[in-house]
C-alpha cells in the first residue's frame, strides 16, 4: 500500500480521510476536519499557480462550477433563513472537487488517495469491532463509533463511508498490482466487511455485495484473457470469497443476522422512510423550480407538510435545497461518471458507483464526505484514463 505522493494537496486530503474518525459529527460530515479540507483546496490552487500547471476544464468541472453557482443562488432564495453550516459545507466541497480535478492527476496520486481511504475505513472498522458501541443503547443490534460528548455516528452514514473502500480492498485482493501483499488485503477485506455488517445497515450490505460482484466481473474478464489457468484461479477465488463470507457471518451477533436475513423487511423502518420521501416530494412540489433554498431540510419540509423531519434521501434533499437546476446538474454529473465506466467496461468503478448511488437513496448524503470523496476519486480516474489511453484501470487502483 503506497502513500507517497509528490502532491501536497493529495497528501492533505488523504490525511483528512485518515482522521475522519475524529469528525465528531452524527452524520459524518467534514465538521472538525474542515481545516484540512480547506488547506487541501489552498495548496491545490497555489500548486497550480506556482508550478504553472495546465488547467483542465472537463465536462465534470463545468458541471461542478455550475452547481456552485446554484448553491450561491439557493442561499439567496433562503435568505435570511440560510443554514450557514450547510451553505459553507456545499461551497467547501464544490471547491474541493474543482481544485483537485482541475489539473492533471498522476497515477500515483490516485493510488495513494485510495490507500488513504482504505486505511481510514480500517481504523473505523476496528473501532466498531473493538468497542462495540451500541447506537441505540440497551442491547440493540446496530454498532457504531462514539466521539467525545457521547456523540455517536448514525450507522447508516458510517456504513456508506465503509462500503466504497471495501470494494477497492477486494479489488486489490483478487486483482493485485505487482508487489501488493494479498494476505494484507485478505485482512483488510474481512475487517471492512465486518465493519459494514456490524452497523446493521441493510442498504450498505446490499451495496457492498453488489459492488464486490462487479469487481468479480472485472476479475473474470481479466483472468480469462491473460491466464491459461483461469479456471483454477476462478475456483480458488470462489473458495476464498466463500471462506471470507463465512468468517464474517459466523462472527455476526445474532440480532444483526436476524435483521439482515430473517425479519429484514417487517420492522417498520421502510414504511417510515417512504413517508419521509413522500414529505420531501411534497416540498419539491411546492417549490419545484428554485427549491426551498439553503435552509435546514427539517425546516423546509415542516413549512410545507407540518412534519419536522429530514428527507432521508440524497436526491430529494438536493432538489429541495438547490432547485431543479442544481438537481439536474448533479444528475448529469453522476450519470456521466457511471455511463463512461459502463462504456469503458470498468466494472469495478461501476460497482463503486452503484454502491454510492444506492446508499445515497437511503440517506441524505448531499454534504457527507463519503459521497464527495467517491465522486472526486471516480472523476480523477476517468480523467486520467481519458488522457492516457494506454493505461488500464488495473494499473491505477
Q: Is the pTM of this model over 0.75?
A: yes
For all residues of the chain together, what is the average pLDDT?
88
Residue-wise pLDDT for 72-131, tens only, equals: 999 999 998 999 988 999 999 999 999 999 988 899 999 999 999 999 999 999 999 999
Mean pLDDT over 371-390 rounds to: 93
Mean pLDDT over 146-173 rounds to: 91
Mean pLDDT over 344-371 rounds to: 95
All structural domains of the chain with their residue ranges: 8-396
Beta bridge partners of 143: 134
Is it the case that residue 53 has pLDDT exceeding 80?
no
Residue-wise pLDDT for 255-295, tens only, equals: 777 777 666 656 667 788 889 999 999 999 999 999 999 99
Amino acid at each position: 500500500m503506497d502513500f507517497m505522493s509528490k502532491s501536497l494537496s493529495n497528501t492533505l486530503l488523504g490525511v483528512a480521510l485518515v482522521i475522519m474518525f475524529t469528525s465528531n459529527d452524527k452524520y459524518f460530515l467534514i465538521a472538525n476536519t474542515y481545516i484540512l479540507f480547506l488547506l487541501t483546496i489552498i495548496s491545490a490552487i497555489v500548486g497550480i499557480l506556482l508550478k504553472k500547471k495546465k488547467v483542465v476544464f472537463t465536462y465534470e468541472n463545468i458541471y461542478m462550477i455550475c452547481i456552485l453557482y446554484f448553491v450561491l443562488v439557493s442561499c439567496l432564495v433562503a435568505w435570511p433563513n440560510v443554514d450557514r453550516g450547510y451553505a459553507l459545507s456545499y461551497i467547501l466541497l464544490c471547491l474541493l472537487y474543482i481544485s483537485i480535478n482541475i489539473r492533471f492527476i498522476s497515477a500515483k496520486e490516485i493510488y495513494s488517495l485510495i490507500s488513504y481511504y482504505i486505511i481510514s475505513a480500517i481504523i473505523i472498522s476496528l473501532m466498531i469491532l473493538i468497542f462495540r458501541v451500541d447506537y441505540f443503547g440497551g442491547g440493540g443490534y446496530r454498532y457504531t463509533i462514539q466521539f467525545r460528548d457521547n456523540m455517536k455516528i448514525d450507522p447508516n452514514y458510517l456504513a456508506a463511508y465503509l462500503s466504497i473502500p471495501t470494494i477497492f480492498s477486494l479489488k486489490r485482493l483478487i486483482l493485485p498490482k505487482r508487489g501488493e501483499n494479498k494476505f494484507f488485503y485478505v485482512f483488510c477485506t474481512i475487517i471492512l466487511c465486518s465493519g459494514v455488517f456490524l452497523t446493521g445497515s441493510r442498504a450498505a450490505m446490499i451495496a457492498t455485495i453488489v459492488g464486490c460482484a462487479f469487481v468479480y466481473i472485472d476479475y473474470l474478464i481479466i483472468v480469462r484473457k491473460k491466464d491459461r489457468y483461469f479456471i483454477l484461479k476462478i475456483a480458488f477465488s470462489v473458495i476464498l470469497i466463500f471462506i471470507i463470507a463465512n468468517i464474517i457471518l459466523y462472527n455476526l451477533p445474532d440480532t444483526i443476522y436476524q435483521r439482515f436475513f430473517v425479519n429484514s423487511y417487517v420492522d417498520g423502518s421502510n414504511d417510515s422512510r417512504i413517508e419521509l420521501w413522500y414529505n420531501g416530494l411534497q416540498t419539491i412540489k411546492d417549490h419545484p423550480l428554485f427549491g426551498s433554498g439553503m435552509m435546514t431540510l427539517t425546516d423546509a419540509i415542516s413549512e410545507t407538510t407540518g412534519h419536522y423531519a429530514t428527507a432521508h434521501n440524497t436526491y430529494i434533499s438536493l432538489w429541495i435545497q438547490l432547485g431543479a437546476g442544481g438537481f439536474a446538474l448533479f444528475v448529469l454529473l453522476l450519470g456521466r461518471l457511471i455511463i463512461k465506466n459502463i462504456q469503458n467496461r470498468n466494472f469495478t468503478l461501476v460497482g463503486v458507483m452503484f454502491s454510492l448511488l444506492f446508499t445515497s437513496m437511503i440517506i441524505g448524503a448531499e454534504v457527507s464526505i463519503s459521497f464527495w470523496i467517491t465522486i472526486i476519486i471516480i472523476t480523477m480516474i476517468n480523467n486520467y484514463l481519458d488522457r492516457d489511453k494506454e493505461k488500464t484501470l488495473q494499473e491505477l487502483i
